[in-house]
Chains A and B, each alone.
Chain A
């Protein structure tokens, strides 16, 4: 088995601030994802990466940057935090095959003051 670790669990920032969320996985999975979950809503894809140094934009990439410098880690940067983007950010990973499921981390809850 493996685990996905997201840090920090809670992130509080000021409006306009640049904030970074980190994700580590020890499954040795090829693909990693960042999803955003707003209260009472589904998961929307921000960025994903199919291998080290690869980045693919999702449906919600504007206002975010991502980085995959190592196979095991995937970070997400909120370039200028806004109050309307307070949400839970979920990192996930999966093997390269489309048939494989995603494994999720426990999330980072972002609060913007």
Chain B
């Protein structure tokens, strides 16, 4: 069974700084996909970025990047130059590569950006 753990319940940082959110996972699959999602105050959930387990390069999209440490089963989300609108709950999720399988989510980290 897959398991995703986010130990940081809430993080508060100043605007324009860099923040890292942690995520560790457990899986028996040799190939898998890791995702980060953002849930805004309105409840909307949007996809941010994905890491494929077979890729060594860390994924980057805009001011989001990932710190993928496969030996540690860790996939951290890094947000640089944070903005007020980055305040949200961030979920880490994973899915095995064996087909259209379930996506397993962590419990989320609330990020608060202070002006």
Instruction: List 19 A-B pairs, Cβ < 8 Å.
Output: A30-B100, A31-B100, A33-B102, A41-B107, A42-B91, A42-B107, A45-B102, A45-B103, A50-B100, A90-B45, A96-B99, A96-B100, A98-B97, A99-B33, A99-B52, A101-B50, A103-B47, A104-B44, A106-B44
Residues of chain B touching chain A, judged by Cβ–Cβ distance below 8 Å, are: 6, 33, 35, 42-47, 50, 52, 91, 95-108
Cβ of A45: which chain B residues have Cβ within 8 Å of it?
Answer: 102-104
User: 1/0 per residue A28-45: CB within 8 Å of B?
Assistant: 001101010000011111
- Residue contact A98 to B44, C-beta cutoff 8 Å: no
Beyond the given pairs A33-B103, A101-B35, A101-B50, 8 more chain A to chain B contacts, judged by CB atoms under 8 angstroms and listed by A's residue number, are A33-B102, A42-B106, A42-B108, A45-B102, A45-B103, A88-B43, A98-B99, A106-B43
- Residue contact A43 to B44, C-beta cutoff 8 Å: no
